[in-house]
Every structure is written in structure tokens, then in C-alpha cells.
Amino acid sequence: MEMQELEITIDSEGRMQVKVRGTHGDECLGVTEDLENAVGIVSERTFMPEYYEQPETVREHRHITR
């Protein structure tokens, strides 16, 4: 699993910009959800190319014999 990273910038007028790295698909929305709820209203959302990628899935197969 890739490390998730948030880059948070607050400008002189108090507006916050959050960039999420290390996620694919809509995972980024879950990463920022609590922060968005605590801070206020999202005025703009721009998706990076990774948003349009599907998350990697890992399938595990186990064969157990007794």
C-alpha cells in the first residue's frame, strides 16, 4: 500500500487548499472527509489524474488442507 500524504496550504485570507497524494480513485475523498467537516464548506474541488485511476486490489488465495 502506498503512503498517503496531505499537503495543506492556508493563504493570508484563511482559505485552505489540500492536496492528497498516495491514493487512487475516490479514496482521496475519504482521506479528507473529517478535515472538510471540521473546517467548513468546500468551495472548489479539482481532481488530480490519480482520481481517475482505479485503486489497486490485492487478491489473496489460500489453499488449506488437513
- Is there a domain that residue 64 lies in? no
- Is there a domain that residue 32 lies in? yes
- Is there a domain that residue 21 lies in? yes
Q: Are 6 and 20 in contact (CB under 8 A)?
A: yes
Q: Which pLDDT band holds residue 10 (cuts at 50, 70, 90)?
A: very high
Q: Which residue in 58, 11, 55, 57 sits closest to 30, CA to CA?
A: 55
Q: Give the pTM.
A: 0.69
Residue 12: per-residue pLDDT: 94
- Is there a domain that residue 25 lies in? yes
The range of the structural domain enclosing residue 23 comes to 5-52
- Is there a domain that residue 58 lies in? no
Residue 66: per-residue pLDDT: 73
Q: Which pLDDT band holds residue 63 (cuts at 50, 70, 90)?
A: low
- Is there a domain that residue 20 lies in? yes
Count how many domains the chain has.
Answer: 1
In angstroms, rounded to a whole number, what is the distance separating the alpha carbons of residues 36 and 24? 19
Instruction: Tell me how many degrees the CA angle 28-49-38 measures, rounded to the nearest 5.
Output: 25
Residue 61: per-residue pLDDT: 63
